[in-house]
Structure 1
């Protein structure tokens, strides 16, 4: 693959993350409140609809960006390369679908706010749907992490070992530590868009790692 297109694929992944991060902010962000449910309940119809559109386009962009990861694994055995493609792709698709479940939470929270209903009770079913969807994703994250980290650590891929630091599992595990001491106005931004921000960071690191592919091939020999 031409190095130019390798970078373009990474750019698609980065833009996909930024688009869905914007979708997160359309649902969650409020300059004076850190309550996700309250903020979703006060979101305008336009913000909720636009957030849904963001999820659609972001998922498309993520899947195109996946091509860069597949390329980086081209030196591994087909079972590992295809496994990473399937599991990583499944997770990226799940990002869009789970975001769709948050739209259900936002819609019910908005109805509860408009009609003076108990917001926690109103969104309970939507939250159960969201949590159920996540249960299917967690095992996939575990399998992908084993495949990705083991192959990179053994230098079977075109990635350097340092890319493991930016693999989504690592920042996911330290989410509470990262967000714990943030001021409220920054916390709502980082916490609300954390999952997509870590993908922005990963695709950025991936693109940098593969920027000079010829030099890196020499380093992996």
Structure 2
């Protein structure tokens, strides 16, 4: 198996496993509204613990996934490919910091709901950690702009249709599904960024299914 496909598969494995972990950490049948993260109260402790370790150990696989994008794009534009790689690594280091805090957040939210801790600590959490996920989304937007630009310029290994599978567009579809079709959206929104990358990595591997790059 060549490096292009291997790194794509590793990225897909990372997105799937982090997605499972984040689903365990976040999914609540009761919705997500309300102050002080009340949805965590209904999430069992073992879900928080298992979800935490899944996301921590599989987030690094995303770096392999972004190396996959770099390999696919570099012959068309080395500078754009390097930009995507660097932004991807930066994004998922930040994303890893955020997602690795969610298990502890769940236990803190439960303590606040039980009157064992002050809600002030959750305000501090929001300032320090929720800011990171907003930064992550901005970086993913920048990655998507570079991704589409490189593909439409031509000479990458990607067919042009792959431009439709840029991360920010897929992420927008995931959130649109949450509002337009809640019966499905309620299951995918809690792990939206991972669902997005499952789609993007899968589309990328399909794009190379019938070709054998030598890299």
Show the 5 A alignment for 1:6-85.
Answer: 6-30=4-28, 32-35=29-32, 37-85=37-85
Aligned CA distance change for structure 1 residues 35 and 137 (closer, same or farther; 3 Å): closer
Cα 1:11–1:160 change in 2 (3 A) is same
Matched with 1:111 is 111
Equivalent position of 1:180 in the other structure = 179
Q: TM-score, normalised by structure 1?
A: 0.82
Where does the alignment leave 5 or more consecutive residues of structure 1 unmatched? none
Mapped partners of 2:48, 2:117: distance in 1: 19
Moved more, 144-153 or 194-203: 144-153
Alpha-carbon distance change, 123 to 41 in structure 1, aligned in 2, over 3 angstroms: farther
SS in 2 for 1:174: helix
Which 4+ runs in 1 deviate beyond 4 A? Answer: 116-119
- CA change 1:92–1:163 in 2 (3 A) is farther
Once the two structures are overlaid, the 10-residue window that deviates more, 55-64 or 101-110, is 101-110
Q: What's the offset of the Cα at 1:139? A: 4.3
Distance 1:110 1:126, change over 3 A: same
CA contact (8 A) 1:19 1:57 kept: no
2:52/2:102 contact within 8 Å kept: no
**Cα distance, 1:206 vs structure 2:** 0.7
Q: Structure 1 53/191 Cα, relative in aligned 2: closer, same or farther at 3 Å?
A: same
For residues 155-194 of structure 1, the aligned pairs below 5 Å read 155-184=154-183, 186-194=184-192
Per-residue deviation, 1:29:
2.2
Change (3 A) 1:181 1:147: closer
Q: Does 1:203 align with 2:167?
A: no
Secondary structure of the residue aligned to 1:53 is helix
Instruction: Show CA shifts across 1:115-161 (max 9, x none).
Output: 37786x55222222233213433443343223211110111311111
Shift of 1:19: 1.0
Distance in 2 between residues matched to 1:136 and 1:129, nearest whole Å: 12
Query: Structure 2 vs 1, CA of residues 56 and 117 (structure 1 numbering), >3 Å: closer, same or farther?
Result: closer
Distance in 2 (CA, whole Å) between partners of 1:144 and 1:75 is 17
Give the TM-score normalised by structure 2. 0.84
Distance, in Å, in 2 between the alignment partners of 1:178 and 1:110 is 29
Q: Distance in 1 between matches of 2:175 and 2:46?
A: 31
Which piece of structure 1 moves more, 189-198 or 129-138? 129-138
Tell me the SS of whatever aligns to 2:86.
helix
